[in-house]
A and B are shown apart, each in its own frame.
Chain A
Amino acid sequence: MDKVIIVRYCEIHLKGNNRGFFERIFVENMERALKGIKHEIRKQSGRYVIEGFESEQASYITDKVKNVFGVHTLSAAYKVSTSLDNIFEAVIKLAPVSGTFKIDTHRADKTFNMNSMQINAEIGGRLLEYNNNLRVDVHSPQAVIGIDLRENGTSLVFGNLINGVGGMPVGTAGKGMLLISGGIDSPVAGYMMAKRGMRIECIHFHSYPYTNMQAKEKVEELASVLAKYSCGTVLNVVKVTHIQEEIHKKCNGDFMVTLLRRFMFRIAERLANKCGSQCLITGESLGQVASQTIEGMTSSGSVVSKLPILRPLCGFDKNEIIERSRAMGAYEISIKPYEDCCTVFLPRHPVIHPKMRDVLEEEAKLDIEALISEALNSLEVIKI
């Protein structure tokens, strides 16, 4: 009797002729998550079975694989050669000690001399005899034990389903450039796009010496959390200190954030074009702060000439974002108190509804091209 893990995927089964493409990448991503652990992944009619691992690794493998996008559910299972005795032996291992249960058999091997209902009755009967504390409830059982009779003479016996993270395999939906700060929102935005299959590259802006090394380290930590889901990422770090100083010196201070964000978007688009990202992703949520009004978004978005800007959190409340941040494991890092560049030179009364005419007038006081190329020269690339 071998321990195995059954992996079921989400939307991939809806795909037509290109299903092979999605499946190949899905397997690659699972392999990546299990790098360094002895195992084999086999496909079995619309799902995967992981086997060949040391039995004590089972829960570790389950934890790793359930966080691979595309996984709908998983089950820890036993693989036995098909016979009622072998199947029952595995059922005993998975059965609860008390409460209600149901046996749910799927018989692909039509040559077996009992049908699904008969197997359910036989194995269920044996289990009731074996443990007096159990009762059968076919409508809402506390535990379901699945039995799958395969055509190759083996059967899989599995217990309750473990939920995976869902979504589509990362690498099946292009690549996006995530503007990542040290806050709560942007890692969640990256997570949500990765969930739909997008590979993520990150760009972070810092203002050393106004911000410290710990602030940058915090962003590296956040990118590492994201990378667990997004099958790795690259963090591009760009210094915008001089841009902030120039705005401070030459422009109306109330426009600091508005103007700085326009620079960030310009720099992000240039870098995106260079590394093959097909869109920009931000953690903006409508109305959350002064710069995230529709006018603020118009102002920053208007400098991006070709790429779409995805704002997956636009309609979320802060609480909903925090909930997701907690679930992905980023929240505790996000709330560390290091400042990112936005809080330096922060105006007391930032412009909330910037008018494009005013923005352009203020921006005209700056040498935009020179500042952008200076910032890009500071680029530091960290592979995560």
Chain B
Amino acid sequence: MIYLDNAATTKPDIRCLNLAEQYLIENYYNPSALYAEGYNLHKQLIKTRSDILNLIANDWDYQLVFTSCGTEADNQALFCGGKRGNVVTTAGEHSAVFNCASEFKERGIEVRVAPLNDDGKVNIQSLLGMIDDRTSLVSVIHVNNETGAINDVNGIAQAVKAINSRALFHSDGVQAFGKIPFKMSADVDLYSVSAHKINGVKGCGALIKRKNLIIKPLICGGGQENGLRSGTENVFAIKAFEYAAKSKYENIQLNYKLAQTLNAAMREKLDGQLFDIISPADASPYILSVAAKGVRGEIILHEVNDKGLIIGTGSACSSNDKKRYSRVILACGIDEERADGVLRISFSAENTVEEVEEAANILNETVKMRKEIME
């Protein structure tokens, strides 16, 4: 089986699991407990927070709050940061942010959605034009989960702050963390990350926040995570996350180049008569969005699945939606006919060029056959 749906989730790194295993079996104590065993875990988690944080920010100005997933981190950032005036976001957000914004509307807070350019990036001019004195929060996705389009988060944050220095700036970095070389600038207040997109395990994410920024918790209780996210810590998943993140950042340049090679191989091997490339040339090399011409994406997904290839259609989280055209793909100016055929191919450093070439062959052959039947 060739797995090319790494933007949905990645295979957990067995080395990280082996290292973290002791926190399931021997070191199972509650980090909030007062005896030595619990306290030791508490100390270890302090170090883990700082170690992960230092990969993209500095632990002097920023702090890290472990959450149950990237979606929870996004929810905390939005609901605890954007509470008044208006909230500005983009048409290219993941549902975790987009649907929080929809909820804001229900609650009577104005939401302003900046359009995308054809390359899938947010139209910066429009976005900045929406910000005023009453803007409480701006959220811009770092790497789009469907097209791979990369927004210049630091640059946009700086421009936002120049207009309204009190507005909070959040970015969903789930598809960027551990993949795209990046350090947070001082203008970014909040940043969400997730473990299972970088070979960690599901059920673990984090919200990185500026230390002197006071926000309320989304989940109240026993006061874990400095009172910002209560609930007994998932120590095993957190440790696996730490090991996975460190391993990703050690090889970030190497992996990035490999992803570029895989991406280029797929672009080259896919038959231009059968597929349109949707992702822009400067997108994250880990994500390649293509459209099968005249065939519904999901049909291809099933057929290639039977032939041993796993890929995605748009975002896995929205595959159940009644409106089957991806909101993000339409926002990039793609017409409905092409949007119907969109497939998302996403790579990881574990993939090989041979796998990608084989996958391209399967895709070409399948779409060709299906087109013949359906025409």
Selected A-B contacts with CB under 8 Å, 14 pairs: A208-B302, A209-B298, A209-B301, A209-B302, A210-B296, A210-B299, A212-B298, A212-B302, A214-B320, A245-B373, A248-B373, A249-B373, A337-B320, A337-B321
Chain A neighbourhood of B321, CB < 8 A = 337
Q: Is the interface of A mostly helix, strand, loop or mixed?
A: loop
List chain A positions with a Cβ less than 8 A from chain B.
208-210, 212, 214, 245, 248-249, 337
Chain A neighbourhood of B320, CB < 8 A = 214, 337
List chain B positions with a Cβ less than 8 A from chain A.
296, 298-303, 306, 320-322, 373-374
Chain A residue at smallest Cβ distance from B366: A209
Check A337 against B322 for contact (C-beta < 8 Å).
yes
Chain A neighbourhood of B301, CB < 8 A = 209
A214 and B298 CA atoms in complex are apart in Å by: 12
Q: Which 10 A-B pairs have the closest CB atoms?
A: A209-B302, A337-B322, A209-B303, A209-B299, A245-B373, A210-B299, A212-B298, A208-B302, A212-B302, A214-B320
- Please report the number of residue pairs spanning A and B whose Cβ atoms sit closer than 8 angstroms: 20
A245 and B371 CA atoms in complex are apart in Å by: 12
Chain B neighbourhood of A249, CB < 8 A = 373
CB distance from B95 to the nearest CB of A (A): 16
Check A248 against B322 for contact (C-beta < 8 Å).
no
Chain A residue at smallest Cβ distance from B301: A209
CB distance from A215 to the nearest CB of B (A): 11
CB distance from A128 to the nearest CB of B (A): 52
> What would 9 more interface pairs be, CB under 8 Å, given A209-B300, A214-B320?
A208-B302, A209-B298, A209-B301, A209-B303, A212-B302, A245-B373, A248-B373, A249-B373, A337-B320
A248 and B374 CA atoms in complex are apart in Å by: 8
Chain A residue at smallest Cβ distance from B298: A212
A212 and B316 CA atoms in complex are apart in Å by: 14
A67 and B71 CA atoms in complex are apart in Å by: 41
Chain B residue at smallest Cβ distance from A208: B302
Chain A neighbourhood of B302, CB < 8 A = 208-209, 212
A210 and B373 CA atoms in complex are apart in Å by: 12
Check B306 against A209 for contact (C-beta < 8 Å).
yes
A248 and B298 CA atoms in complex are apart in Å by: 20
Chain B neighbourhood of A209, CB < 8 A = 298-303, 306
A337 and B318 CA atoms in complex are apart in Å by: 12
A209 and B302 CA atoms in complex are apart in Å by: 5
Chain B neighbourhood of A212, CB < 8 A = 298, 302
Chain A neighbourhood of B374, CB < 8 A = 248
CB distance from A170 to the nearest CB of B (A): 34
Looking at A209, A212, A245, the one whose CB has the most chain B CB atoms below 10 A away is A209
Chain A neighbourhood of B322, CB < 8 A = 337
A209 and B367 CA atoms in complex are apart in Å by: 12
Chain B neighbourhood of A208, CB < 8 A = 302
A337 and B323 CA atoms in complex are apart in Å by: 9
CB distance from B312 to the nearest CB of A (A): 13
Chain A neighbourhood of B299, CB < 8 A = 209-210
Chain A neighbourhood of B306, CB < 8 A = 209
Chain A residue at smallest Cβ distance from B323: A337
Chain B neighbourhood of A248, CB < 8 A = 373-374
Chain B residue at smallest Cβ distance from A335: B322
A249 and B303 CA atoms in complex are apart in Å by: 20
CB distance from A239 to the nearest CB of B (A): 12
Chain B residue at smallest Cβ distance from A336: B320
Chain B residue at smallest Cβ distance from A245: B373
A337 and B322 CA atoms in complex are apart in Å by: 5
CB distance from A237 to the nearest CB of B (A): 15
Chain A residue at smallest Cβ distance from B296: A210
A214 and B306 CA atoms in complex are apart in Å by: 16
CB distance from B164 to the nearest CB of A (A): 40
CB distance from B167 to the nearest CB of A (A): 37
Chain A residue at smallest Cβ distance from B324: A337
Chain A residue at smallest Cβ distance from B370: A209
A214 and B320 CA atoms in complex are apart in Å by: 9
A214 and B300 CA atoms in complex are apart in Å by: 16
Chain A residue at smallest Cβ distance from B372: A249
Chain B neighbourhood of A337, CB < 8 A = 320-322
Chain A neighbourhood of B373, CB < 8 A = 245, 248-249
Chain B neighbourhood of A210, CB < 8 A = 296, 299
A210 and B321 CA atoms in complex are apart in Å by: 16
CB distance from B371 to the nearest CB of A (A): 12
A212 and B322 CA atoms in complex are apart in Å by: 14
A248 and B373 CA atoms in complex are apart in Å by: 8
CB distance from A50 to the nearest CB of B (A): 42
CB distance from A341 to the nearest CB of B (A): 13
Chain B neighbourhood of A214, CB < 8 A = 320
Chain A residue at smallest Cβ distance from B304: A209
CB distance from A21 to the nearest CB of B (A): 47
CB distance from B317 to the nearest CB of A (A): 14
CB distance from A250 to the nearest CB of B (A): 12
A100 and B311 CA atoms in complex are apart in Å by: 68
A74 and B301 CA atoms in complex are apart in Å by: 52
Chain B residue at smallest Cβ distance from A249: B373
A214 and B313 CA atoms in complex are apart in Å by: 15
CB distance from A90 to the nearest CB of B (A): 46
Chain A neighbourhood of B298, CB < 8 A = 209, 212
CB distance from B172 to the nearest CB of A (A): 26
CB distance from B222 to the nearest CB of A (A): 33
A147 and B193 CA atoms in complex are apart in Å by: 67
A164 and B300 CA atoms in complex are apart in Å by: 48
A214 and B296 CA atoms in complex are apart in Å by: 16
CB distance from B305 to the nearest CB of A (A): 8
A210 and B296 CA atoms in complex are apart in Å by: 8
CB distance from B190 to the nearest CB of A (A): 33
A249 and B374 CA atoms in complex are apart in Å by: 8
A133 and B333 CA atoms in complex are apart in Å by: 72
